[in-house]
Amino acid sequence: MIKVLFLWSIMLSTLGYSHDARMAVFRISQTDSQLQIDLSFDIEDYHNSLNLTEEQVTSKQLAQYLNAVTDWRINDIDKGNILVSNLSTIGDHYHATCTISTLKSISTLDISNSFLTGVKGHSNIIILDLNDTFRDFRMHAKRTSLTVSY
């Protein structure tokens, strides 16, 4: 009986997706007059979604993709391009450090974000640590924009 239960547990564990949750995490904080975005996302989802090889993924390529699929408005002012200063891999994920020029004081933040929303079940988790306030949001294919007021 134990052998049968063991075999069933092995068979059931191999069904379903290869990862539990498909998501990218954007941790956003402010330093002086910059937003710092620490970004983590799945390597396989990124490669498959954009039809890229590992060699094609660079800081420049990621910045181009981020600038194409995200839009940041701070205090009703469109902000410039996202700069990616560091891109590394840890396990099955890419980790990137990104920055956006901003104002010293943030009263509203509008984010449009369709990063990897073509991947079935993908979510973008937005974690804001701004103005001594911690807030988090889930964005996905049906919710690609949000406005946060401080």
At 40-59, the pLDDT tens digits run 999 999 999 999 999 999 99
Residue 8, in any domain of the structure? no
Handedness of CA 45, 51, 54, 60 (dihedral sign): negative
DSSP string, 13-30: HTSS-SSS--EEEEEEEE
Residue 6, in any domain of the structure? no
Looking at the chain, which runs of residues are DSSP E strands? Answer: 23-31, 34-42, 70-74, 77-78, 83-90, 93-101, 108-113, 123-130, 133-140, 145-149
Residue 76, in any domain of the structure? yes
* Rounded CA separation 82/99 (Å): 6
Residue 14, in any domain of the structure? no
Asked if residue 132 has pLDDT above 50, the reply is: yes
pTM recorded for the entire structure: 0.84
Contact call for residues 117 and 24 (beta carbons, < 8 A): no
At 49-101, the pLDDT tens digits run 999 999 999 999 999 999 999 999 999 888 879 999 999 999 999 999 999 99
Residue 47, in any domain of the structure? yes
Residue 2, in any domain of the structure? no
Res. 149 pLDDT band, cuts 50 70 90: very high
Contact call for residues 130 and 30 (beta carbons, < 8 A): yes
Average pLDDT, the chain: 88
Residue 110, in any domain of the structure? yes
Domain that holds residue 93: 21-149
Contact call for residues 108 and 76 (beta carbons, < 8 A): yes
* Rounded CA separation 116/108 (Å): 25
Asked if residue 103 has pLDDT above 90, the reply is: no
User: What is the distance of C-alpha 39 from the center of its chain?
Assistant: 5
Residue 131, in any domain of the structure? yes
The total number of structural domains in the chain stands at 1
